[in-house]
A and B are shown apart, each in its own frame.
Chain A
């Protein structure tokens, strides 16, 4: 299997008429990485993928694969293979013919192709299924055939366009591990498109969070989750509680925020924004549900929040308490279910406590749609 090569996007702009699908994207993807573009639908991530695979010419800027500018090079000449959202398996060809299509067009003999198909079928754990039609396979099997077909072309970069979105939850979780394993085995660069932050976090070496054609943040899963650069990244990746307010004071990498509802709260400033936030700026503070804990009622301080409980639910691994929050949004608190008794607090005021390090503040901005 060929080694993975790096992919670079340089000042990439893609426009459709007046509509800007991708705005000045600059991304460096290391060879052999599993890189994800994460964003809601319509944010331009598929457009980027199509520009990398060669189905779209960028309006401005360059796509470099392995350091080579791909301008004017068609999709059939690029060292990429794309796994389509709907897989696009050829319905009239048998599985083995599908898998070895890239060999057929190079004129390989049927015997050679059959042999290669059998190897790949073994690799994707579908031995002996070569003579079936794609329509006779299950969703997960089709998924794996699509991967085998792309790998058969021996690409340097494999592009995946939300390939798991059509699968049910169980299968999706199983395929995550499988995809990651395949990627590590073949060692080529994977560029993965998804709107599912769980997929992106579990599989990727690096993630780019996209919003409306703009890349908000690039980083590994932990950075994206713990240290979001924008309000959008903070609210899109994982569940998060937002507290709107203004910056009251800044001390190095910490800030005191005068929130609209919950008094003055202290928080860490996200790494990307250290030095950029000034007193009086509109700010948004985020605390994860799991970072909040119950405190003795009425406790006051710069890391305590008091609010009314609206309702509660039991989720199995946690008790979720929902409280009146800012801007119509509820504050969610997740208390791990580790054997303690749990009373119904609906209607009562409760006080919550958090570690200042677990809260993060970013400049006010657009939040992800629920």
Chain B
């Protein structure tokens, strides 16, 4: 580590690593605040919050978010309960069967989401027909199918999370509760569930995120309830606007905020627990005076506060800042720029045309005697032939006032002399 080369390469590696991880997010977040109507970070034109309002005006996106949340909640409930049941089963099943059971229950994670989507659709359609229900029954409802379809594999994720915690559970606790007179239901509710609560929370978050971002299973099952990912995918087909960047930015901010908040909370609990062990009373530790102490050595809390301030600043700016003038300026600038371009283009075209005409003329002289009529707006001044005729073909000793100069020969020395 003392070798500077190694140290520098580690820093470079870290920089590349984080650029790779976070670069796309940063660029995309910038596009959400740039005014051009195609998402791009450069050239920077105007700071605008227009895309956020555009987002909230977009019925389809809003509907997609709503459906995603509904599906997410359904998936949480279904997946976490199935996952918990699966995890409990795994700890209680006969040891000989455990490996097989584990494989079976983990399999949905390994099966491609597309396959799960199709099979969910086919399976429930079959059941629906067997029961003689119509196309509008619950079993063919998009929400129902999406929740069921996603839960098939999200439940496995949840189980993995829950099993990790359950392995640390001392079965003697349940036995102790039973021994003290509790029924199995009471022991489950009062002892096991509180113990599992942190893992259940993690599993719920995981289930929600997995459900929210799922596309390939949902694409077969959504029916009349397109989720956000489905809506976005459909939008991309017709070209995207920075409104989608705005949505993504909000999701990023919410995620980061939640993660930092959670981290800070955990740190805080640790500090509290340590203080309690050291014999301090709770009041002493959680008292307002101690708050700065809680920040020391708690990077997440500091980052959280900075982040919160930044968010407030952004939102505050958004309410008072009016980008109209800037946009008008940019548009004016753009208009001028466009005009200039058009002008240039026109001139270019004319030049091309005349060059072509002159060339034609030069070629045509051998066959046609008359000089081509000068139909160009500039009267053939730029035609190379004309120039030649005016300046070089005319002999300098020729004093005859041909007067083809624009100044009517006023500069002619002979004229001056003649005036005397």
Interface, chain A (partner B; CB < 8 A): 53-55, 74-77, 80-82, 84, 86, 88, 90-92, 101-102, 104-106, 136, 149-150, 153
Interface residue B58 (Cβ < 8 Å from any Cβ of A): no
Complex interface: chain A residues within 8 A of B179 (CB): 53-55, 75-76, 80-82, 153
Instruction: Report the minimum CB–CB distance from B272 to chain A (whole Å).
Output: 12
- Excluding A75-B175, A76-B180, 9 further A-B contacts by CB distance (< 8 Å) are A54-B179, A74-B178, A75-B178, A81-B180, A82-B176, A88-B175, A105-B182, A136-B276, A153-B179
Structural contact, A92 and B175, CB atoms closer than 8 A: no
Structural contact, B180 and A149, CB atoms closer than 8 A: yes
Interface residue B186 (Cβ < 8 Å from any Cβ of A): yes
Looking at B4-12, B190-198, B254-262, B320-328, the stretch in contact with chain A turns out to be B190-198
Complex interface: chain B residues within 8 A of A53 (CB): 179
Shortest Cβ-Cβ A-B pairs, 4 listed: A88-B172, A88-B176, A102-B180, A105-B182
6 CB-based A-B contacts, threshold 8 Å: A82-B175, A86-B170, A88-B172, A91-B173, A92-B194, A153-B180
Complex interface: chain B residues within 8 A of A150 (CB): 180
Complex interface: chain A residues within 8 A of B276 (CB): 136
Instruction: Tell me the bound Cα distance from A54 to B170 in angstroms.
Output: 18
Complex interface: chain B residues within 8 A of A81 (CB): 179-180
Interface residue B183 (Cβ < 8 Å from any Cβ of A): yes
Select the residue from B177, B181, B183, B190 with max chain A CB neighbours within 10 A. Answer: B181
Interface bits B352-394 vs A (CB < 8 Å: 1, else 0): 0000000000000000000000000000000000000000000
Interface residue B277 (Cβ < 8 Å from any Cβ of A): yes
Complex interface: chain A residues within 8 A of B173 (CB): 88, 90-91
Structural contact, B191 and A76, CB atoms closer than 8 A: no
Instruction: Tell me the bound Cα distance from A53 to B172 in angstroms.
Output: 13
Contact of B181 among A76, A91, A92, A136 (CB under 8 A): A76
Complex interface: chain A residues within 8 A of B182 (CB): 76, 101, 105
Structural contact, B172 and A86, CB atoms closer than 8 A: yes
Assuming the A-B contacts A76-B183, A92-B195, A136-B276, are A101 and B172 also in contact, with contact meaning beta carbons closer than 8 angstroms in the complex? no
Instruction: Tell me the bound Cα distance from A369 to B246 in angstroms.
Output: 75
Interface, chain B (partner A; CB < 8 A): 170, 172-173, 175-183, 186, 190-191, 194-195, 276-277
Chain B's closest residue to A55 (CB) is B175
Instruction: Report the minimum CB–CB distance from A154 to chain B (whole Å).
Output: 10
Assuming the A-B contacts A76-B183, A90-B191, A92-B195, are A101 and B277 also in contact, with contact meaning beta carbons closer than 8 angstroms in the complex? no
Instruction: Tell me the bound Cα distance from A307 to B179 in angstroms.
Output: 56
Chain B's closest residue to A104 (CB) is B190
Complex interface: chain B residues within 8 A of A149 (CB): 180
Instruction: Tell me the bound Cα distance from A163 to B163 in angstroms.
Output: 29
Assuming the A-B contacts A92-B194, A104-B190, are A84 and B181 also in contact, with contact meaning beta carbons closer than 8 angstroms in the complex? no
Contact of B176 among A74, A84, A92, A106 (CB under 8 A): A84
Instruction: Tell me the bound Cα distance from A136 to B170 in angstroms.
Output: 19
Instruction: Tell me the bound Cα distance from A101 to B178 in angstroms.
Output: 11
Complex interface: chain B residues within 8 A of A101 (CB): 177, 180, 182, 190
Instruction: Tell me the bound Cα distance from A80 to B178 in angstroms.
Output: 11
Instruction: Report the minimum CB–CB distance from B275 to chain A (whole Å).
Output: 12
Structural contact, B176 and A105, CB atoms closer than 8 A: no
Instruction: Tell me the bound Cα distance from A12 to B32 in angstroms.
Output: 77
Assuming the A-B contacts A76-B182, A105-B180, are A84 and B175 also in contact, with contact meaning beta carbons closer than 8 angstroms in the complex? yes
Chain A's closest residue to B175 (CB) is A55
Structural contact, B178 and A76, CB atoms closer than 8 A: yes
Structural contact, B176 and A90, CB atoms closer than 8 A: yes
Select the residue from A81, A101, A104 with max chain B CB neighbours within 10 A. Answer: A101
Complex interface: chain B residues within 8 A of A86 (CB): 170, 172
Chain A's closest residue to B176 (CB) is A88
Complex interface: chain A residues within 8 A of B183 (CB): 76, 105
Instruction: Tell me the bound Cα distance from A92 to B169 in angstroms.
Output: 12
Complex interface: chain B residues within 8 A of A136 (CB): 276-277
Structural contact, B277 and A106, CB atoms closer than 8 A: no
Instruction: Report the minimum CB–CB distance from B183 to chain A (whole Å).
Output: 6
Chain B's closest residue to A78 (CB) is B179
Chain B's closest residue to A102 (CB) is B180
Assuming the A-B contacts A76-B181, A136-B276, are A105 and B170 also in contact, with contact meaning beta carbons closer than 8 angstroms in the complex? no
Complex interface: chain A residues within 8 A of B177 (CB): 90, 101, 105
Complex interface: chain A residues within 8 A of B175 (CB): 55, 75, 82, 84, 88
Complex interface: chain B residues within 8 A of A54 (CB): 179
